A and B are shown apart, each in its own frame.
Chain A
């Protein structure tokens, strides 16, 4: 499933603050894509891991076992060439929408998953950023509810946007808080 038209909003890494309470179409959520930094990071990691592996394997097999064996190095190369567009597809499939009372997260191409988490159910909101993510200026937001099965994570956000989202979610969660 292609969701390309919606993704352009995410390209610049700049977001207007959305609120789902916009008049007009209460049922059509305003989707936000992810900034392109995540795609860049994932593609770089793909090349960094599989590129040297291809070259190393080709050299090693070519020198030790003969040139015919070096064809096995095509395997990681094929994986690299296949993974490049796949990462793009996966990145385009990620999107989220803040509605008046709940957060929507939609993701996945082959295994599609759409999650709805009401703000009142949030137990805590986590913003994490690993060393590689930090280098690319990315952060992910994770929502926890009382149900451990709730899998509500938005990866690869701009740190400013992640913090804005965290603050907004916390504020809305407090306003609509409900017990178990």
Chain B
């Protein structure tokens, strides 16, 4: 799969690269924040610790053989070498912002240059892990289809990261190159804030929390009775408790203080108790939106809203909110879209293909979105704007054909496929043709990539 927005080349770039683009408009190269070399300081310690844990007796023997002198010599070699490597990799990492690109030049031995085109930006994330918050630094990552972990700028000073985000968004929006860094932060209007109490209750009412907790409590004793081996029990119990913690406490900590805001730059999502994350999704980048309604939330009328942006790892828009509020947010995210009230079920004979669960399937098509529902206990409604449809497929198996049914798949750019299952075959064929037409007209009306131009 190609990466349309990212161009990479492994070529050696001359030292004068910063000055070659137009004499009157030189590209200024920046370095990352000076604390950057420390970010991998824990890695060698972790390696040694892991090795010691892996073979405790061997470590004991090795340690008793060591004398203070050898230890000191080893330290005298290892610490400066690590420090030198850290310093050099920081020294040789540069980034610069041109009119159309963010350029990242890095690598000590293997040189690597990434040019990320700003009009292809799908989202910008500024994240601050706990230690980075203490140090007053932040990571900045541009989500473009095909970028990976290496393309993030870690770390920048906190104020610098915000200013850079504002400048990148201004340039991506199509402001003049000269005024781009004077535009500043766009004003944010808050759309939604999730109170901590509601979030805690929603985590408690999630099936995943209970499933992992029950697993963590039940499986280790059963294993103990079956094997009587401490190591087996520990080896299974630790990951299970880890998963239980991640799905309950981890989720609460990650989704704490969830704020969704709207600005001319697009959608702002801020969240986190210990690690803070600030995401900006420019207008027209959302590929699909999903409204998920777990069984236990239904009495309270709460829903969770997930979204897909190509190249972005975050997939939550609203962790929990009353349905009306969530739909209000969706209407801001996908302009001109109203979430349909009722969806068509498949015909009754669909019960022969998927007994019982066919009642959960549903479909609605409006002027602007393709909406499909699935799930009976945990309902999930997916919305795809017609302008985001990459391809439409109709699929029909032998048993489905016998019953005169067919599935319609709609593929989007975030590598998510939304499926309307078990429709009447004639209806599906009409839907296929109509959807192709709709997505064509939808594309013509879609916003340009540079949303301010």
Contacts of B2 in A (CB 8 A): 123-124, 144
Q: Does B395 contact A (CB under 8 A)?
A: yes
Q: Does A65 contact B (CB under 8 A)?
A: no
Q: Does B72 contact A (CB under 8 A)?
A: no
Contacts of B4 in A (CB 8 A): 123, 146
On whether the beta carbons of B310 and A112 are closer than 8 Å, the reply is: no
Cα separation A118 to B285 with both chains bound (whole Å): 19
On whether the beta carbons of B440 and A118 are closer than 8 Å, the reply is: yes
Question: Given A146-B310, A149-B411, does the pair A180, B443 have CB atoms closer than 8 Å?
Answer: no
Query: Chain A interface: which of B90-98, B107-115, B362-370, B396-404?
Result: B396-404
On whether the beta carbons of B396 and A121 are closer than 8 Å, the reply is: no
Cα separation A114 to B428 with both chains bound (whole Å): 11
Q: Does B432 contact A (CB under 8 A)?
A: yes
Question: Given A112-B401, A178-B446, does the pair A118, B411 have CB atoms closer than 8 Å?
Answer: no
Cα separation A118 to B432 with both chains bound (whole Å): 12
Q: Does A130 contact B (CB under 8 A)?
A: no
On whether the beta carbons of B432 and A180 are closer than 8 Å, the reply is: no
Interchain pairs with CB closer than 8 A, number: 93
B contact patch SS = mixed
Contacts of B391 in A (CB 8 A): 115-118, 121, 145, 147, 149-150, 152
Query: Could you say which interface size class chain A belongs to?
Result: 20 to 34
Q: Does B435 contact A (CB under 8 A)?
A: yes
Cα separation A149 to B440 with both chains bound (whole Å): 19
Would you give the shortest CB distance from A61 to chain B, in whole angstroms?
34
Q: Which of A120, A147, A180 has the most CB of B within 10 A?
A: A180
On whether the beta carbons of B440 and A145 are closer than 8 Å, the reply is: no
Cα separation A27 to B413 with both chains bound (whole Å): 27
On whether the beta carbons of A111 and B440 are closer than 8 Å, the reply is: no
Q: Does B145 contact A (CB under 8 A)?
A: yes
Question: Given A178-B443, A180-B413, does the pair A113, B310 have CB atoms closer than 8 Å?
Answer: no
Q: Does A175 contact B (CB under 8 A)?
A: no
Contacts of B392 in A (CB 8 A): 115-116
Contacts of B432 in A (CB 8 A): 114, 116
On whether the beta carbons of B145 and A113 are closer than 8 Å, the reply is: no
Q: Does A110 contact B (CB under 8 A)?
A: yes
On whether the beta carbons of B390 and A121 are closer than 8 Å, the reply is: yes
Q: Does B306 contact A (CB under 8 A)?
A: no
Within 8 A of A (CB), among B397-430: 397-398, 401, 409, 411-413, 415, 417
On whether the beta carbons of B390 and A110 are closer than 8 Å, the reply is: no
Contacts of B436 in A (CB 8 A): 101-102, 116, 118
Would you give the shortest CB distance from A42 to chain B, in whole angstroms?
21
Question: Given A116-B392, A123-B4, A144-B2, does the pair A149, B409 have CB atoms closer than 8 Å?
Answer: yes
Q: Of all chain A residues, which has the CB nearest B436?
A: A116
Within 8 A of A (CB), among B1-58: 1-2, 4
Chain A window 76-113, contacts with chain B (Cβ cutoff 8 Å), 1 for yes, 0 for no? 00000000000000000000000001100000001111
On whether the beta carbons of B413 and A111 are closer than 8 Å, the reply is: no
Would you give the shortest CB distance from A151 to chain B, in whole angstroms?
7
Q: Does B76 contact A (CB under 8 A)?
A: no
On whether the beta carbons of B415 and A149 are closer than 8 Å, the reply is: yes
Contacts of B150 in A (CB 8 A): none
Question: Given A116-B391, A118-B391, A178-B446, does the pair A147, B413 have CB atoms closer than 8 Å?
Answer: yes
Would you give the shortest CB distance from B146 to chain A, in whole angstroms?
10
Q: Of all chain A residues, which has the CB nearest B394?
A: A114
Q: Does A148 contact B (CB under 8 A)?
A: yes
Contact with A145, one of B120, B390, B395 (Cβ below 8 angstroms): B390
Would you give the shortest CB distance from A34 to chain B, in whole angstroms?
19
Q: Does A4 contact B (CB under 8 A)?
A: no
On whether the beta carbons of B1 and A148 are closer than 8 Å, the reply is: yes
Contacts of B394 in A (CB 8 A): 112-115
Cα separation A121 to B411 with both chains bound (whole Å): 11
Would you give the shortest CB distance from A80 to chain B, in whole angstroms?
23
Q: Does B257 contact A (CB under 8 A)?
A: no
On whether the beta carbons of A180 and B409 are closer than 8 Å, the reply is: no
On whether the beta carbons of A147 and B398 are closer than 8 Å, the reply is: no
Contacts of A112 in B (CB 8 A): 394-396, 401
Contact with B439, one of A118, A150, A152 (Cβ below 8 angstroms): A118
Contacts of B417 in A (CB 8 A): 147, 149
Cα separation A159 to B269 with both chains bound (whole Å): 51
On whether the beta carbons of A114 and B393 are closer than 8 Å, the reply is: yes
Would you give the shortest CB distance from A148 to chain B, in whole angstroms?
5
Q: Pick the 6 closest A-B CB pairs, nearest first.
A: A147-B411, A146-B413, A147-B390, A150-B391, A145-B390, A180-B413
22 A-B pairs whose Cβ atoms sit less than 8 Å apart in the complex? A27-B433, A111-B395, A112-B394, A113-B394, A114-B393, A115-B391, A115-B393, A118-B391, A120-B443, A144-B2, A145-B413, A146-B310, A147-B391, A147-B411, A147-B412, A149-B393, A149-B411, A149-B417, A150-B390, A150-B391, A150-B411, A152-B391
Q: Which residues of A contact B (CB under 8 A)?
A: 27, 101-102, 110-118, 120-121, 123-124, 144-152, 178-180
Given contacts A116-B436, A178-B446, A180-B413, 8 further A-B contacts (CB under 8 A): A110-B398, A112-B396, A118-B436, A118-B440, A145-B411, A147-B411, A149-B393, A149-B415
